[in-house]
Every structure is written in C-alpha cells, then in structure tokens.
Structure 1
Amino acid sequence: MDQYRINSWKDIGKIDFSSLSMENICQLHFVDLILAFKFYNSYAKTRGFSVRKSRSRIVDGKVREKAYVCSREGYRLEKWNHMKNRVRELKPETKCGCMSKLHVFFDVVTESWVVRDFCDEHNHELIIPKLARMLRSYKKMTEPNINQMNHMKEVGISIPNIFGSLASQCGGNENVNFSIKDMHNQVAKQRRQLPDDLTSVSKFYKPNMIWHVSFHGEQDEFKCSCMRMDSIGIPCSHILAVLGFLDIAELPKSLVLRRWTKKVKEGISGYDDMCGLMEDSLAISWRACLAHWCKQIMNKGCLKGDIFNESRDALVNILSWIRAHNGDNNMMEGHAEYMYEDLAKNGSTEIETTRKPKRCNYYRKGGHNIATCSMRKMDERTP
C-alpha cells in the first residue's frame, strides 16, 4: 500500500508515466489535494492535454470530494453564444465534451485522498508532449524565474533579452513554459499590486486631459501615465508638480538615471582595457567619414577646370594645415600653384573639340558632301 502513496513532489518525480496503467492510477492515494492535482497535471502533460479543477463536494464546511477534468470537458453555455450586448468577437469553441477525469475523495481511515474514478478516454486529438508546455495549465512562470527576471530588469536588461537568457539556461526555447508576453503580463501584475498614492495633475492648456502620477513611498518611485520618464528617462512636468505638492526640494534618485550622471562608466569591467579598442574604432569611423566626403569632391570637382583648380587648392591648403598642426616638418611635394604641372603643359583640363571641314567622298574635294555634289549629279544624268 505504501508504494502507491504520494507524500511529496519527489514521489511524483519518480513515477514513469509512460508505463503507468489505469489499475496503478486507481490504487494511488495522496496526502493532500495539491499533490493530487500536481500528479494529474504531470500525467496530462506527458499525454498531451491540459487539465482544470472541476466540482467539489463539501460536508460540514470541508471538502470531501474533488474532480479534476480535461480542459475540453463539457460545453459552452448557450447564454454566452447569444449575448446581445457583446463587445468583443466570440472566441472559438474549445470544449467538446471530453470525458477524461480524475475523481478523488477523502478516506477517513487512512486520512488520505484516494482515487475513486479515473477515465482516460478523449474525443479529441492530443498534441505531442513537446508542445504541451504552451497549454494553459502548464504555461506559467515559477517563483525563481520571476525573481531572476526582476533582478535582471533592475539593471536595465530588456524583457526579450531576459527571455533569451532564461531559455539558454533551460536548454532552448522548447523547454521554457512561458512566453515573452507572459513576462510582460507578470511585470504589469507586479505594478498593480504595489501600494501607491494617486495624484491627478491637469495638463497645461488642456483642462479636460488628466494625467495620473503614482508615488510609491517605500521605493521612492514616481510613475506618470504620460510615460515620458519611461520612454526617454526625463521627468515630466506632471511629476515635478507632484514633487512641489509633496514639498520635495530635490529630485529623488529614482528620477535621475545613471546614464545622466558622471559615474556612468564606473563599475564597468574591463573598461580601461577597452579604451585602446574604442580609440581604434573611433579612428576608423573618422576615416570612413573623411573618405565619404573626399569621394564627393572627386565626383563633383572634376567636371570643370575652374572647379578642379579651386578644389585642388583647398585640399592642398587643408593638408598643409593638418601637417603643421600635427608638427610634421616634412615639406610637401610641390605647391598648389604648380601641382599637376605636366597635365597643364600637355593641354587644358577642358576638352576642346574642333569640327573637321566637309569633304565629298565622290569627288574628293572639300566644301560639300556627297549629297550635294554637282559632279555626281552630272555623271548620273549622263547616259
């Protein structure tokens, strides 16, 4: 009898659900209802369906019987299908009258919860166990995951990056029982549970617009519905108005982000070692910027001779100033007035075209072409 008794979570973890028969399940008995539900929930996950709590039988103010059923048990009530004042669109029907259930009752003799009825027949398709983690009865965040998310969020890590970190710790996204949206919902739930004092602030020139500023005294934290502080990290006028109302003379530390202070670079591991790398990266970006503008000068400065001369002289003068500023005593080769002297001797930078005189291909004389040649016309008329 003791081999079928479930006393803790460890006993559930030792069960091989793949080889568990209906006779073995009917012989199980649990210390409390929590373990009974945990067992059925774990069994359903290996099978590919989700469960929910159903009806209870109460005697003398105490629960004596409890039923756990498949999430697709029963049918939707007709009143929900014919609502006249419906605002949102009716969701698809998920319940199909599934008969799968686990019914337990309290045995006074053994003082444990014994299985009275167990049914494992489903009238719907079961999903593969790999995807069962996203069903409603398993899709939740545990307390350690919530605490780790809060710690990482306090140092400025975004929710998607936190999810990626938790997924890597679990061995991949397929082993995480929640989504990024569940994390956002958990953060919103924690904010709603915090005690706060609400103060309404009227926006300037808009008396009908009301902004709500919440102040958490223990954490010394301010929140405004305009979300200016959350978006750009600068306190809005509504928060400043509440500070004046509360007789607070200086900004709290929660309203001054670390990136606006002089200590923003303190505490960064290996920052001194990265200075050289940062300087090299900065030099590369400067070089790319100068190369971009020099290419523009090359494209536009070679169209005409006068523009070329002005561009050349300006660049040579800039290079002379840079060398003098850097203490480079080496003389430049040539001067702006004599640079490219060979090119000027060989010809002007502007292309000069001269039109050749007309020449007749028939008579081999100049001054006309073959179309207007009188000698050709005379020869054609001569028989």
Structure 2
Amino acid sequence: MAFQFRFDMDMEIENDCAWKPKQRMTFDLEQCVYDFYNAYGERMRFSIRRDYSKKNKFTSQLICRLLVCNKEGFQKVNERDPLAETRTGCEARLYVKLDKCTGKFVVTDFEEKHNHDLVSPKCAHMLPSQRKITAIQAIELDLAAQSGLRLGQSFELMGREDGRGHCLGFTKSDKKII
C-alpha cells in the first residue's frame, strides 16, 4: 500500500507544472526570471545563459530579456580543436518584457524544444549555469592557498572531506571567477 501511495505522489509531482514556464507568467525582477528558468533548466538537464536585452535609453531600466539554452547559436570553427564546438543552434528560449503598468516582467515567448540531447541526471549539476560555489567553499580554497596548497590539491582535499570525491558541484575555473 505504501508503494501505491508513493507512486501516486510521484504522479502528482510530475503533473504539477508550476516549475514549467508559461506564457503570461510574471516576475518581480529579472534575476527572479533567471533563477526560475535556471531551476527549470536544472530539472530538464540543460544549461542557460543570458542573451539579448534591451534597456530604456533614458532611465537605463531593463525592458526585455532573452534567456537561451547555452547551445543556442553557432561558434566560429576552431581550427586548432574542431571538436570544441559546443553550440548547435538550439532554439529553446524564454523571453520576458517589462509591463509598464505593473512593473513586472511578463513571459511573452517560451520555446521548450531542444535540438540536442540533454545531459544525464548524474552530470546536470556540472552544467555551467548549474555550478555553484558557496562563500564557505571559496573561503576554504583561499585558506588552503594561503597555507601553500595548490588549487588541485585543495579540490582533492575538499572532495575527500565532502565524501563525494571530485564531485563538488563546481570547477577550478569557477573559483577563479569569485
């Protein structure tokens, strides 16, 4: 009987589409739009990035934003490493405009279909927009560096402390950004 209840709950969760973008959804801030679409990307197993935006030329207030799959568009061919191509022309996107009356961002366009395979659930947390380094982790890396440990050694140490090996949820390049 407990198994049946769990199955029903899973079905309810899958049918609850509050996590999926829809036309006319509203958001208070552009960052809220980004966070929502990024959470959707995490659930669906793709990475997002900010693309086009437009600002009011008098007030510099953001009036529209396009968020896209990180595989949107095409890159110039890299002659040294032709396998480095990461873009596929994917058209998955979320577009919002600022409603002047309400002051909220409104979804005016949403395309959910991708032209590429989505990553496996085991790798989704390492997609560029999904990687997260906490302030505590950054401080630990700084302390390790001050103690004379190289970045690679610090990563190994943190992975062993965490118990997940090298799966920390961020990369060495993410530390360089902070």
TM-score band by shorter chain is 0.7 to 0.9
- Asked which structure has the greater CA Rg, the reply is 1
Q: What residue is the counterpart of 1:105 in the other structure?
A: 97
For 1:29, give the aligned amino acid: T
C-alpha contact 2:131 2:170 (8 A) present in aligned 1: yes
Is the deviation greater in 145-154 or in 30-39? 145-154
Aligned to 1:28: 25
Deviations 1:248-281 (A, max 9, x none): xxxxxxxxxxxxxxxxxxxxxxxxxxxxxxxxxx
Deviation of 1:29 (Å): 1.4
Stretches of structure 2 lacking an aligned partner (at least 5 in a row): 1-12
The separation in 1 between residues aligned to 2:159 and 2:105, in whole angstroms, is 39
Residue in structure 2 matching 1:127, options 119, 122, 146: 119
Which residues of 2 match residues 248-267 of structure 1 at below 5 A? Answer: none
C-alpha displacement of 1:107: 1.0
Distance apart, 1:134 and its partner CA: 1.4
Call closer, same or farther: CA 1:95–1:132 in 2, change over 3 Å: same
Indicate the residue corresponding to 1:137 in structure 2: 129
TM-superposition CA deviations, 1:200-231 (whole Å, max 9, x none)? xxxxxxxxxxxxxxxxxxxxxxxxxxxxxxxx
Computed over aligned residues only, the root mean square deviation of the Cα atoms, in angstroms, reads 3.0
C-alpha distance in structure 1 between counterparts of 2:21 and 2:39, whole Å: 15
- Name the structure 2 match of 1:283: none
Deviation at 1:140, TM superposition (A): 4.0
Provide the C-alpha distance between the structure 2 equivalents of 1:93 and 1:19, rounded to a whole number of angstroms. 36
Offset of 1:52 from its aligned partner? 0.8
Shift in Å at residue 145 of structure 1? 1.4
- Is the Cα–Cα contact under 8 Å of residues 133 and 176 in structure 1 kept in the other structure? no
More relative contact order, 1 or 2 (CA 8 Å, 6+ apart): 2
- The question of 1:58 aligning with 2:55 is answered yes
What letter is aligned with 1:54?
D
Matched positions, count: 160
In 2, Cα distance between the equivalents of 1:129 and 1:176? 15
Tell me what 1:68 maps to: 67
Please report the TM-score for the alignment, with normalisation by the length of structure 1: 0.37
Hey, what's the Cα distance between the residues in 2 that align with 1:176 and 1:156?
21
Note the C-alpha offset of 1:97.
Answer: 1.5
Give the Cα–Cα distance (whole angstroms) in 2 for the partners of residues 18 and 174 of structure 1: 35
Deviation track 1:145-172 (CA, whole Å, cap 9, x = no partner) reads 101333355456641112322x33xxx3
Matches within 5 A, 1:173-188: 173=165, 176-179=168-171, 181-182=172-173, 186=175
For structure 1, the 5+ residue unaligned runs are 1-15, 191-383
Instruction: Give the partner amino acid of 1:45.
Output: E
Retained in 1: the 8 A contact 2:51–2:65? yes
Pairing 1:40–2:34 present = no
Q: Could you tell me whether the CA contact under 8 Å between 2:19 and 2:40 is conserved in 1?
A: no
Q: Percent identity?
A: 26
Q: What is the distance in 1 between the residues matched to 2:14 and 2:147?
A: 42
Mapped to 1, the partners of 2:89 and 2:21 lie a distance apart of 26
Distance of 1:110 and 1:43 partners within structure 2: 25
CA distance in 2, matches of 1:124, 1:176: 26
Aligned match for 1:163, one of 159, 164, 177: 159
CA apart distance, 1:56? 1.0
Tell me the distance in 1 between the aligned counterparts of 2:14 and 2:135: 26
- The answer (yes or no) to whether the contact 1:101–1:120 under 8 Å persists in 2 is yes
Inter-partner Cα distance in structure 2 for 1:66 and 1:173: 38
- 1:89 matched to 2:81: yes
Contact 2:54 2:63 in 1 (8 A): yes
Q: Tell me the secondary structure at the aligned position of residue 130 of structure 1.
A: coil
Alpha carbons of 1:175 and 1:55: their partners in 2 closer, same or farther (altered >3 Å)?
same
